[in-house]
Amino acid sequence: MIKEIVEGKTQLFVHAGLPTKRMEVFYNPKKEFDRTLSVKILKELKPKKCLDLLCASGARGIRLMKEAGISDMTFNDANPKAIKLLKKNLKKNGLKARVYNKDACELLYALHEYFDFIDIDPFGSPNPYLEASIRFLKRNGVLAITATDTAALMGVKSKACFRKYHSIAKRHPFMKESGLRILIKHVVETGAEFEYALKPVLAHCTAHYYRTYFIKDPGAKRADALLENIKCLHYCPKCGHRGYKACAHKESISIGPLYAGNINSLHVDDEFIKSLNAEDAYPPWHYTTTELARLFKLSNEPATNELLKKVKGVRAHYEPKGFKTKFDIARIKRIFKK
């Protein structure tokens, strides 16, 4: 069943129902937050020639045209029913755009055109579209990537993570963050293979998906410099240590390789993006109050706001009880053992 909705300032016809691959034309109302963020980001970055590579109903690309002032937008989807609905949505909003109904990679190689912005919003992993999209992104172009295969990236399906991203992912208290950084590592490595630096400039984990933005800077040396941020991490469930050297406990596990550098530097007037930038001023690998209660055998979990003052930290967006601090676990422990 098709219904009419308003997302942001845009009217859209979309299919109603559970957002699964089996939908006639995919639409997930829970991604409105992420589409609204794209509007704010593109308003700031002002890319000229844009491509909504896997557009479905066109919800994202149409909102970017209507609300972020993008006038040159190309839409594509392999599903002919999506294209029919997209055309109806363009007409409804009085917009004109180039529309294709092709396999995404086939389209990129057939067009052989370069874009200032490419959006990859797939079912699951972005991997099938990475190489072609990176290739046809202009210098300083922006690549936006969604990944919904979070079970693989977070280590719930660790074999899938190794197969797709060539990293070891395991379940642990900050697995949402390590998953995001495994995804970023993979994009950075894919760019580097072709001598492009794909610098991560915005990245978050929200609900069931990861969303990341990269800026392309061609050059082998710049790609090499980014690769230096790729590290293997050691985490110990016994003492809570996280670091690039292991602690002495036999329980210590290895995670990665993953991207350990800065991942949020875009200046956009949005409270969530500002909080991501604030987090990025701290070392990665956040803690949670639940983890501290377990490690230090506390009868109650510490209240996050009180704790932030003690550890001079900030909230980490990955978990409601997550926080970042520059203190290591031994220093945090001393606070609780006083």
Residue type, 140: N
What strand order describes the sheet that includes 242-243? 242-243, 230-235, 253-259
Query: Judged by CB, which is closer to ligand SAM: 36, or 79?
Result: 79
Nearest C-alpha neighbor of 132 from the set 162, 102, 161, 160: 102
Residue-wise DSSP of 249-261:
-TT-EEEEEEE-S
Q: Find the binding residues for ligand SAM in span 177-236 (CB under 6 A).
A: none
The 51-80 contact track toward ligand SAM, x by CB under 6 A, reads: ---xxxx-xx---------------xxxx-
Nearer to ligand SAM, 95 or 225 (CB): 95
- The answer to whether 209 and 31 have CB atoms below 8 angstroms apart is yes
Length of the chain: 338
The footprint of ligand SAM on residues 30-49 (CB under 6 A) is 31, 35
Shortest distance in whole angstroms from residue 124 CB to ligand SAM: 9
Residue 255 in tokens: 């995670």
Residue of the chain from 3, 46, 80, 123 that contacts ligand SAM (CB under 6 A): 123
Residue 122 or residue 283: which is nearer to ligand SAM going by CB? 122
Q: Which of 116, 121, 189, 291 binds ligand SAM (CB under 6 A)?
A: 121
- Candidates 13, 26, 136, 174: give the one binding ligand SAM (CB under 6 A): 26
193 phi and psi, to 5 degrees? -55, -30
Query: Residue 112 region, left (φ>0) first, then alpha (ψ -120 to 50), else beta?
Result: left
> Is the link from the previous residue into 257 a cis peptide, with omega within 30 of 0?
yes
For residue 110, the minimal CB distance to ligand SAM (Å) is: 12
Smallest distance from the beta carbon of 76 to ligand SAM, in angstroms? 6
| Sites of contact with ligand SAM (CB under 6 A) | 26-27, 31, 35, 54-57, 59-60, 76-79, 82, 103-104, 121-123
